[in-house]
């Protein structure tokens, strides 16, 4: 909710997918253990402490091996999923998105056995245990946008949103 409030002008009730990217990145940083520490009221109460300057270089390191911004495709998919035909996201839709992302984060972490911040082909095989291997190759081909050989959180969210998988 803080991410919405800090990036959406007061009184404005909806945002476009491009602005959603900024909000999603802010949410991603706030969910980071390092980010949570930096945003803790005790830390922000310290005179002269600027959480962004102090820990910005450390963001993502404890949960994600490599810092990656949110993808526009993820924002677009979430807008379609939660906003129907609208091209903007209102606060209530944003709240539903955050609940969905929280669920996906739990699933993602459960299958990221190596705690690398990405799901490789073997971890993906566990996730899709009942599916043939060629399907996994297709999933990687379609969703591994950076061709890293593994799925980062945004790419995982795209799969879950577009395919409505449950586990």
| Domain residue limits, the chain | 70-163
CATH number of 70-163: 1.10.238.10
85-102 pLDDT per residue, tens: 788 899 899 989 989 988
Between 86 and 62, residue with greater pLDDT: 86
Sequence-separated (6 or more) residues with CB below 8 Å from residue 146? 68, 152
The pLDDT of residue 35 is: 55
- Could you count the other beta carbons within 10 Å of the beta carbon of residue 158? 21
User: Where residue 36 falls among pLDDT bands split at 50, 70, 90?
Assistant: low
Among residues of the chain, what percentage have pLDDT more than 70?
75
Is pLDDT above 70 for 154? yes
End-to-end CA, the chain: 27
């Amino acid at each position: 909710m803080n991410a919405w409030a800090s990036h959406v002008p007061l009184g404005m009730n909806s945002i476009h997918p491009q602005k959603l990217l900024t909000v999603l990145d802010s949410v991603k940083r706030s969910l980071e253990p390092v980010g949570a520490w930096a945003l803790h009221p005790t830390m922000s109460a310290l005179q002269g402490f600027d959480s962004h300057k102090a820990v910005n270089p450390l963001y993502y390191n404890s949960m994600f091996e490599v810092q990656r911004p949110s993808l526009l495709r993820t924002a677009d998919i979430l807008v379609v999923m939660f906003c129907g035909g609208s091209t903007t996201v209102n606060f209530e839709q944003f709240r539903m998105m955050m609940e969905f992302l929280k669920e996906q984060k739990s699933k993602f972490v459960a299958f990221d056995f190596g705690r690398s911040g990405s799901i490789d082909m073997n971890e993906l095989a566990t996730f899709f245990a009942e599916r043939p291997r060629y399907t996994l190759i297709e999933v990687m081909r379609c969703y591994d946008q950076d061709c890293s050989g593994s799925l980062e959180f945004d790419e995982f969210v795209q799969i879950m949103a577009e395919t409505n998988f449950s586990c």
